[in-house]
Amino acid sequence: MNKNLRLLLILILIPAIFITQAGFSTIAKNPKQVYRVYLKGKSLGLIESKADLEKYIDEQQESIKKKYKVDKVYAPADLSIVKEKTYNKNVQSTKEIYEKIKDISPFTISGYVVKIKGVDSKDSTGKEIKGKTQTLYILDKDIFRKSVETTVKSFVSEEDYQNFANDTQTPIEDTGKLIENIYIKNKITIKKQNIPVNKKIYQTEKELTRYLMFGENAVETKYTVKAGDTISDIAFNNKLSVDEFLIANPSFNDEKSLLSSGQEVSIIGVHPQFSVVEEDHVVFKEEKNYASETKYDNNKDVGFTEVTQKGVKGENKVTQKIQKVNGETTNVVTVSTEVIKEPIKEIITKGGRQSAYYGGGYGTVVPTRGQWGWPATCSSVSSPFGWRWGVLHDGTDIAGCGYGSNIFAAQSGTVVQSGSKYDNGQFITIDHHNGYYTMYAHLCVGCRYVSVGQHVEKGQVIGGMGQTGFATGVHLHFAIWRGYPYRGGVALNAMSFY
């Protein structure tokens, strides 16, 4: 290569080298480490220190600390701060970013999220109802534990609960009860995490217990006691069961507690947010009702009635497994029945001879208390007449007799209904020709032994106990009505007739 060409190449390369070196020098500078702040997935900008922003948020929220009695306040749950390296010199101050955050998303405090999974159930038509899962926010796990325990004790007596918990129950020697298990049917989870302060956060045991017992939208009213009022009267007239009344008014021990005129009591419907299950092993003695047999004497005029053999009740020793949910018996299974004394049947002699002066008819006299026949072979009342959860239970549930066990007519009369409905299942209604009707529901399939228009006598077997319709276990729904059931009649408390 000649001298002139070499010189030309050098002159060309020298500027290029300087340019390349200058560019390399710029690239070689270190990028700045900062933090990008995102709120709800949207970038708010860059800051120099994550710790400084968190500290600034905490310092600015003294009102939140005071309200919830906490030492520290945290960033919103939907705020994320991501480390980033950049050449961008547009870094914002901590205060600028804070101002963008404070009015968009709530700040958070450390606490616990409690989820109470709903339990599926059925409505009065038998349709499945999906259980609603409850989400609660609390600051202290111990408050939740105490509130749950208080709620459980609303459905299980304090003495029974403590004896079960401490394993100090008295063994059954002849008769008695042993609680085999107490548990909450719902699945409950507790997770520690930061809670947004715009949520309802339960801070006290009293406040949380009220929610667990009565629900979120419970409305409490006050009733002023009048002269002659009883707890059962006040409860019924306000669509509460006695148990619900006692839960809302814990100062009263039982329905026989004395009331004073002018005294104020709380009226609030109980709607527990979880199901407390109690499983009992029970041994008791029960009277066994005697059967009635009617004989006709044609030497006596129609209208003549005489008890020619007095009925005597027998006695059984019964062992049962009983399940209660929130204090209400939902299932009764009779494990064994030992006959201690057999009953002696009642024999009634009636006149069969027609008289020229006899006008006919029967059953025109209203039977008084004690003259009604018991409709089942056992006497365990699993669910009494009355209000519960704001709905009137218009009959008395009798359980523990066993599937297919005999159901008896409570008085003589004429069968006016013998059929099936979605709620009552297989049922029978009897008109007693004195303004009163009785209804027998949830009979077993194929266990309606009488038909419409048929005359039946008191104590006559008319059906078998079952679990048809809207029934959670084998039982008889027995109801006494003044007037035709569900057609203008009024449901009465059957137990007031016994």
Count of C-beta atoms within a 10 Å radius of residue 40: 11
Q: Would you state the pLDDT for residue 181? A: 97
Q: What CATH code is assigned to 276-497?
A: 2.70.70.10
All structural domains of the chain with their residue ranges: 32-105, 108-167+183-215, 219-270, 276-497
Write out pLDDT tens, residues 269-278. Answer: 888 999 999 9
pTM of the model: 0.74
What is the predicted pLDDT for the residue at 17?
Answer: 41
Mean pLDDT, to the nearest integer, of 78-89? 88
pLDDT tops 50 at residue 11: no
Q: What is the mean pLDDT of residues 375-383?
A: 90
- Could you read off the pLDDT of 256-271 as tens digits, one per residue? 898 999 999 999 988 8
Mean pLDDT of the chain: 87
Confidence of residue 300 (pLDDT cuts 50, 70, 90): confident
Domain spanning 219-270, CATH class: alpha beta
Token code pair at residue 239: 């669509």
Q: Calculate the alpha carbon distances from 480 to 417, 472, 497 in Å.
A: 14, 22, 9
* pLDDT band at residue 211 under the 50/70/90 scheme: very high
Bigger pLDDT: 283 vs 354: 283
Counting residues of the chain whose pLDDT is more than 90, the rounded percentage is 60
In this prediction, residue 125 has a pLDDT band, given cuts at 50, 70 and 90, of low
Whether the CB-CB separation of 237 and 208 falls below 8 Å is answered with no
The predicted pLDDT at position 24 comes to: 41
Q: Residue 72 pLDDT > 50, yes or no?
A: yes
What pLDDT is recorded for position 303? 78
* pLDDT at site 241: 84
- pLDDT computed for residue 142 by the predictor: 95
**Confidence band (pLDDT; 50, 70, 90) for 12?**
very low
Least-confidence region, from 4-18, 24-38, 243-257 = 4-18
Name the more confident of 235 and 269.
235
The mean pLDDT value for 97-116 works out to 95
pLDDT at 443: 96
Q: Has residue 135 got a pLDDT over 50?
A: yes
Q: How confident is the model at residue 297, as a pLDDT? A: 83
Q: What's the confidence (pLDDT) of residue 293? A: 79
Q: What is the pLDDT of residues 167-180, one digit of tens each?
A: 999 999 999 999 99
pLDDT of 28: 43
Tell me: the pLDDT tens digits for 41-61? 999 999 999 999 999 999 999
